A = this chain, B = another copy of it.
Amino acid sequence: MSIAVISTGTELLRGTVLNTNFAFLGRELTRRGLAIRLGLTAGDRAPEIHTAFAEALAEADTVIVSGGLGPTRDDITLDAAARFFGLELETVPELEDKISAFWKLRHTGRVPKPMLRQARAPHGAKILPNPNGSAPGFRIDTLYAGRARRVYLLPGPPREFEPMVCESLLPDLDGIADTGTREHTIGFLAAGEPEFLLQVRLEKALEGRPVELAYCATPCGTRVFVSGSDPEAVRDAAEVARKEAGPLALEFGELELAAALLAELRRRDWKLVTAESCTGGMISAALTAVPGSSAVYRGGAVVYSNELKQLLLGVSRELLDAHGAVSAECAGAMADGATSRLGGDCAIAVTGIAGPDGGSAEKPVGLVYIGVRAGERRVVEKFLFRGNRDTVRERAAGSALLLLHRLLQENQVDSVTGA
């Protein structure tokens, strides 16, 4: 099976929306050994969608389309697909009933007529139910240039798209896919070494094995992917790669540092607190994005102003006057204050200058101090991140998680050595 994905939506081309559907689909397919061969993004105009269909069908036997199935006038994917494949659109009474019921749950009065555009299905298409919205999805089986093709149309809103991928699309693909051609991938996060140096070592260690390596640099380290068609070869190679990557590499499958850190703390039954200045809640948001984080993470203080650094964390006025808020001393005091005042076994504290304003010759934009505590141990490190405000904040948040993870690993090494 070869897969192409078409994302429709002028808002994607204008950059007002990030294409999270494409990434979600990529992750879910990869997890099942399936790969996207080509991605296409087209605006809400019939000629552009037709072009995308032609290009996708030339490259792949399975085409997954997202977006443009709703009731507004710029939702034209269904009509464009019907025209492209020469299929009539037929009103389906069951869909009409469903849409009316859906409308009545949320609004008063009769269903507006444009809403019922969503009750139409291309002749012969299989209808894929949408439990979270009014627009159904479709599977169209067709011939293109004399060869059999499958085209899936799915709605664009992520809270409709994602469940339909899991509940309709993937089970349907499972029934088709030739398991022999699946690609197997194991990924892990290798922290603490630049992508390039890591790659040189890994390529050497895995030379001659029937696997491919791919890398992706993130603020927390390099994501390494080992893939190939033989699952055993992939597993063996990934084990070698992980060993080669060193003690800071996460477990197989762990690509997110926040989740790995919480799992590590959970094993120790330790509670975590945070104190954030320039990252302004990004670390707490990343931690609480992980389901079940409340078992480990108690909460934190976002201390954008100096008054709140004093009030919530007990950083002294004298310290702030002597060293400034962006200083190793302040980061350390924030970590200490968070541990004692917010009641944690360990803490992450960040203070820095994210820019674009607020920098000086002595303390430039990108200067960040990170303090972490784990039990009685405390480390404060100075960083100078390049990039714009978003990048500085993102790298500061990533580095802070990494620093605590490292301190915990060292603790572990210590206790093993001492045993």
Taking Cβ atoms with an 8 Å cutoff, the residues of A that contact B are: 7, 9-20, 22-30, 35-44, 48, 51-52, 55, 59, 70-74, 112, 114-115, 132, 157-159, 162-163, 185, 187, 195-196, 199-200, 203, 213-218, 223, 225, 255, 274, 276, 278-285, 287-289, 291-294, 297-305, 307-308, 311-312, 341-343, 354-358, 386-391, 393
8 new A-B contacts at CB < 8 Å, known A294-B304, A312-B312: A11-B223, A15-B26, A16-B225, A19-B23, A39-B40, A279-B285, A288-B304, A288-B354
- Name 23 A/B residue pairs within 8 A (Cβ), A-sorted: A9-B216, A11-B216, A14-B27, A14-B35, A15-B27, A19-B19, A37-B48, A38-B40, A38-B51, A39-B40, A55-B55, A72-B215, A74-B213, A112-B196, A132-B386, A157-B217, A159-B391, A291-B356, A294-B358, A298-B305, A299-B308, A301-B312, A311-B341
Contact present for B37 and A14 (CB under 8 Å): no
A163: B residues at CB distance < 8 A: 388
Name the contact of A301 in the complex, choosing from B25, B302, B358 (C-beta under 8 A): B302
Contact present for B22 and A41 (CB under 8 Å): yes
Ranked 7 nearest A-B pairs via Cβ: A280-B288, A15-B26, A39-B41, A281-B281, A281-B284, A15-B27, A159-B387
**Complex CA distance for A386 and B289, rounded to whole angstroms:** 16
Copies in the complex: 2
A133 to chain B: closest residue by CB: B386
Contact present for B11 and A214 (CB under 8 Å): yes
A27 to chain B: closest residue by CB: B15
Contact present for B30 and A200 (CB under 8 Å): no
CB distance from A50 to the nearest CB of B (A): 12
Contact present for A73 and B199 (CB under 8 Å): yes
Select the residue from A35, A187, A294 with max chain B CB neighbours within 10 A. Answer: A294
**Complex CA distance for A200 and B70, rounded to whole angstroms:** 13
A15 to chain B: closest residue by CB: B26
A13: B residues at CB distance < 8 A: 26, 35-37, 39
CB distance from A269 to the nearest CB of B (A): 15
A26 to chain B: closest residue by CB: B15
CB distance from A283 to the nearest CB of B (A): 7
A41 to chain B: closest residue by CB: B39
**Complex CA distance for A302 and B288, rounded to whole angstroms:** 10
A354: B residues at CB distance < 8 A: 288
Contact present for B355 and A291 (CB under 8 Å): yes
A40 to chain B: closest residue by CB: B40
**Complex CA distance for A199 and B41, rounded to whole angstroms:** 24
CB distance from A341 to the nearest CB of B (A): 8
A216 to chain B: closest residue by CB: B11
Name the contact of A285 in the complex, choosing from B59, B115, B285 (C-beta under 8 A): B285
A286 to chain B: closest residue by CB: B281
Known contacts A196-B71, A299-B305, A302-B284; A16/B213 CB under 8 A: no
Contact present for A284 and B280 (CB under 8 Å): yes
Name the contact of A292 in the complex, choosing from B44, B214, B255, B357 (C-beta under 8 A): B357
Select the residue from A24, A37, A70 with max chain B CB neighbours within 10 A. Answer: A37
Contact present for A18 and B15 (CB under 8 Å): no
A298: B residues at CB distance < 8 A: 304-305, 307-308
A304: B residues at CB distance < 8 A: 284, 288, 293-294, 297-299
A199: B residues at CB distance < 8 A: 72-73
Select the residue from A12, A41, A55, A305 with max chain B CB neighbours within 10 A. Answer: A41
